[in-house]
Amino acid sequence: MANMLLQRYCYSSSPRLLLRKSSSSSSRAPKRALPGIHRIILIRHGESLGNIDERAYGETADWRIPLTNRGREQARVAGKKVASHIMPSDINANTAEGTRSNNIFFYVSPYLRTRQTLREILHEIPSDQILGIREDPRISEQQFGNFQSHHTMQDNKATRSDFGRFFYRFPEGGESGFDVYNRVSGFIGTLKRDSAEYYNDDEAQEEDSTTICIVTHGLSLRLFLMRWFQYSVHEFERSYNPKNAAVVVLERDPGGWFELSPVDRIAMGFPSYQEQE
């Protein structure tokens, strides 16, 4: 089933979010980011071969590095966590929270390890709740060059630690964190356009029912949060990648804003809103 869903949705030109009929209203509330979206879930891929042996990058193209068996198990656990967010609980079964349609739309990096992570996640999600899947290269891993010499990469990473992760550019065709930030920013713009296209803002405010799930990489995930919450470069430099298959959740609060789970924020070393520079 997971393979069929990937084949059906992965190369769609636009997300299959539910259409909302527009309606007029005499009193309009301020427009919000991502109308109709209740939650954003960010997931780092499960443990990959490169995570346990960096010499793999010298023989296998980075985008073709697979998950380990442990990584697949981690992805299944992540899938169960995602399912727990979109499935109505027994305690809410007879409430508006329990009866609304908790659908989910996936965005995934084209790398093998992220696609394999998504494939395991899909085993845990009822197919009738999946609105669609889109592959987007803008949320792929930072580019380090082509086949990577282990010793050269170790030297480059040591230099990056001294120079700063955000602005250091890997030589021989590699990217800086700033480059990844720019393409992730473009991806966020797409999220906003997709949501605005398929949801009428007035009606969506009454029923934010869709979850967006983004399966990506550690650095790209952090840079997404940096862009979304306007963290400074200094705050980014003090943050950490989440663990493999970590499920990072942004929930919409009653005021209409998305909030990062305090547990996730602290685990990655990001400051609270009151502590931001």
Determine whether 45 is an active site residue: yes
Tell me the pairing of strands 210-216 and 247-252.
Answer: unpaired
Of 47, 124, 135, 141, the catalytic one is: 141
- 45, 47, 135, 175: which is the annotated catalytic residue? 45
d(CA 3, CA 9): 10
Other Cβ atoms closer than 10 A to 114 = 29
Q: Look at strands 103-108 and 247-252 and give their pairing.
A: unpaired
From CA 273, how far away is CA 70, in angstroms rounded?
35
Q: Provide the phi-psi class of 260: left if phi over 0, else alpha when psi is between -120 and 50, else beta.
A: beta
Using DSSP bridges, classify how beta strands 130-135 and 210-216 pair: parallel, antiparallel or unpaired. Answer: unpaired
Q: How far apart are CA 268 and CA 262, in angstroms?
A: 10
Report, as residue numbers or ranges, the catalytic residues. 45, 141
